[in-house]
Amino acid sequence: MGPEEQEFLTRLYWSNFKKLLSYVAHACRARGIAEECISDLSRDIVQDVFHTAVKKMNILFSHPKPDAWLMETCKRTLKAHMRQAAADNRCLLLLGALDWTVPDPVSGPAAAQKKMEYDDLLERIRRILSENEFHLFHMIVFRHTGYYRAAQELNINLWACQKRMERIRKKLQRSISR
């Protein structure tokens, strides 16, 4: 990438980052995603948009409306992420979880039953995955930690974190199909 393209991308980044972040956060709220997860998720998606922009710089640089191209890419990236989250949910359901949310600390028989189901699900997943894989899966799927924050915690780069999750998902899918 030449200096002219780099300057173009930097200018595009600073003029669109907040707008894209706001769009994704609003879309996440509309889908009922927990408020504490929205910030990380929004940043992950917007960073993915700009990663795509870097990879397709030749298209973006010659596009008549680069801001519109970024917004369309953002919409597609958000849809892809939501499809992946739905696939994760289906995977967990196939592993035997009817309600896989973390149980509330409310006492009573219903809470105890919910906790037992949750613990049982975690144990089944733990038997399939290695300790490192389980830790990453738990952070991303159950705690809704964003990829960026998970990568920082594991001291790996963002793309390695996403690739590891892709492999973990495939491993779980293979175990379900058996």
pLDDT tens column, 102-146: 444 445 566 666 667 667 777 888 888 899 998 998 888 877 778
Mean pLDDT of 34-46: 84
Candidate from 2-6, 59-63, 99-103, 172-176 with smallest mean pLDDT: 99-103
pLDDT value, residue 94: 62
pLDDT value, residue 30: 87
Mean pLDDT of 7-23: 92
pLDDT value, residue 70: 94
Given a contact cutoff of 8 angstroms between Cβ atoms, the answer to whether 172 and 63 are in contact is: no
Torsion of CA 129, 131, 132, 133, to 10 degrees: 20
CA distance 73 to 67: 10
CA distance 142 to 74: 24
For residue 69, is pLDDT > 90?
yes
Instruction: Express the helix, strand and coil content of the chain in percent, nearest 5 each.
Output: 80, 0, 20
For residue 34, is pLDDT > 90?
no
Mean pLDDT of 35-43: 83
Mean pLDDT of 33-62: 86
pLDDT band at 178 (very low <50, low <70, confident <90, very high): low
pLDDT value, residue 112: 66
Given a contact cutoff of 8 angstroms between Cβ atoms, the answer to whether 26 and 46 are in contact is: no
- The pair of structure tokens assigned to 64 is 């008549």
Residue predicted with more confidence, 139 or 64 = 64
Show Cβ contacts of residue 60 under 8 Å, excluding neighbours closer than 6 positions. 9, 12, 53, 66, 69, 70
